[in-house]
Homo-oligomer: A and B are copies of this chain.
Amino acid sequence: MHSFDKTIQKLRQEGFKLTPQRLAVIKHMIGNSRHPSALAIHKDLKRRYPSLSFSTVYNTLNMLERIEEVQSLNVIDGHLNYDPDISTHGHFLCTKCGTIHDIRFEDCDDIKLPQGEIGGHTISSIQVSFKGTCRICR
C-alpha cells in the first residue's frame, strides 16, 4: 500500500466508491506493520465508527487484496492476518508474545529464494513463515 493518495486513485480507477468505512480501513492499514487480523482492525476502528460491521471490514479487505493493495497471511492457524506491504518478504511469528515480525530477504544473506520457477513449476507467489522466540522475548 503505497500512500493514501495513490490508493484512493486506484479505487477510483477501478470504480469503487470512497465510503468513510473504506477510507478508515485504508488509513488504518497504510504503514501498519502489525499484521492485524480482521478482528483487530474491526476492534480498532469500532471506536471511531461504532456502527462499523464485520462484513464491511471483510469486504474492504477482500477488495484491497483483489486490487493488490494488501496481502493476506496464513501465518497463524485459523485466521488471516493482513499486510499492507505486498512485496515478497517473510514473517516471523513469536510463539511467546504473538508478534509477527517482517523478515526482509534483502537484509539476510542466509536466505535465497527462487524467482519465476521451481522444479518446473511456475511461481506466482511465495510465503515464508518462521516460528520461534523473537529477539525481544528471549
Contact = CB atoms under 8 A, between A and B. Distances in A.
B127 A123 contact: no
Nearest to A107: B119
A75 to B, nearest CB: 7
A112 B127 CA distance: 14
Interface string A113-137: 1100011111111111111111100
A72 B77 contact: yes
A134 to B, nearest CB: 5
B77 A77 contact: no
A8 B134 CA distance: 36
Contacts of A108: 114, 118-119
A138 B116 CA distance: 14
A30 B119 CA distance: 24
Contacts of A138: 122
A132 B133 CA distance: 31
Given A121-B133, A121-B135, A126-B131, 16 more contacts: A72-B77, A74-B74, A74-B75, A74-B77, A103-B118, A103-B119, A108-B119, A110-B118, A120-B134, A121-B132, A121-B134, A122-B132, A124-B131, A124-B132, A126-B128, A126-B129
